[in-house]
């Protein structure tokens, strides 16, 4: 993901569109690892008695990143138009350094050598279970909404202030709301 974003930052005003699209595709392929891959391993790292609290705390740290990241990127726009991408790359690299190299279960120990059968089994599990199908559909729609919000924030900022820097603030306000709900869930379980 860092490589794709770096290619975008370097080539944004001089590389041909197919190269930029390929860089965006490269960055996007790694997105699930950053947005949910680590979270999906929580049940292997903590026991069932601590899972609900660990999950809420994981969401809260994700939300803190959602507050700090856009704010830093917005502030970086005052330095240089490419600076937000540099901030993103630096934050991703810092996050990677915090992951364990390997656990007893081999969680973060590398890519699965044969991912085809694992991917097929995952698709069968999602398609075969109505509850999992519903949550997958809802989370897909949620991510589409997040993408729309991410695209709309700079446009709103430009319309209101004449520049995109306020977009970070708009995205951070949304993340503050998310953080508040995550912190609430660390104390109270909701249906």
Residue 112 has pLDDT above 50, yes or no: no
DSSP-based three-state secondary structure for 134: helix
Can you tell me the distance from the alpha carbon of 191 to that of 184, in angstroms, rounded to the nearest whole number? Answer: 13
Residue 183, CA distances (Å) to 42, 71, 139, 180 in order:
17, 20, 20, 5
Of 133 and 35, the structure prediction assigns the larger pLDDT to 133
Indicate the pLDDT class of residue 114, thresholds 50, 70 and 90. Answer: low
How many beta carbons lie within 10 A of that of residue 134, not counting itself?
10
The residue that leads in pLDDT, 34 or 7, is 7
- The Cα 94–Cα 7 span in angstroms is 19
Supply the pTM of this predicted model: 0.47
CA–CA gap between residue 1 and residue 17 (Å, rounded): 18
Q: What is the DSSP string of 145-185?
A: HHHHHHHHHHHHHHHHHSSTTHHHHHHHHHHHHHHHHHHHH
Domain residues of the chain, as ranges? 1-30, 46-96+130-191
Per-residue pLDDT, averaged over 105-128, amounts to 65
Question: pLDDT at residue 29 above 70?
Answer: yes
Contact 30, 89 (CB under 8 A): no
Res. 109: pLDDT tops 60: no
The tokens for 184 are 């609430």
């Amino acid at each position: 993901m860092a490589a794709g974003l770096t290619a975008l930052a370097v080539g944004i005003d001089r590389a041909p569109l197919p190269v930029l699209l390929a860089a965006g595709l490269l960055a996007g392929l790694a997105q699930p690892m950053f947005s949910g891959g680590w979270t999906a391993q929580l049940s292997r790292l903590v026991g069932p008695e601590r899972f609900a609290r660990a999950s809420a705390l994981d969401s809260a740290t994700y939300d803190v990143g959602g507050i700090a990241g856009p704010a830093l990127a917005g502030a970086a726009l005052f330095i240089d138009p490419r600076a937000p991408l540099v901030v993103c790359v630096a934050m991703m690299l810092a996050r990677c350094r915090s992951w364990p190299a390997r656990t007893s279960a081999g969680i973060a120990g590398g890519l699965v050598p044969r991912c085809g059968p694992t991917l097929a089994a995952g698709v069968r599990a999602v398609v075969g279970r109505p509850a999992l199908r519903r949550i997958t559909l809802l989370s897909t729609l949620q991510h589409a909404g997040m993408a729309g919000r991410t695209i709309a924030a700079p446009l709103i900022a430009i319309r209101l202030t004449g520049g995109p820097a306020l977009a970070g603030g708009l995205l951070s306000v949304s993340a503050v709301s998310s953080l508040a709900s995550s912190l609430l869930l660390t104390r109270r379980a909701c249906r």
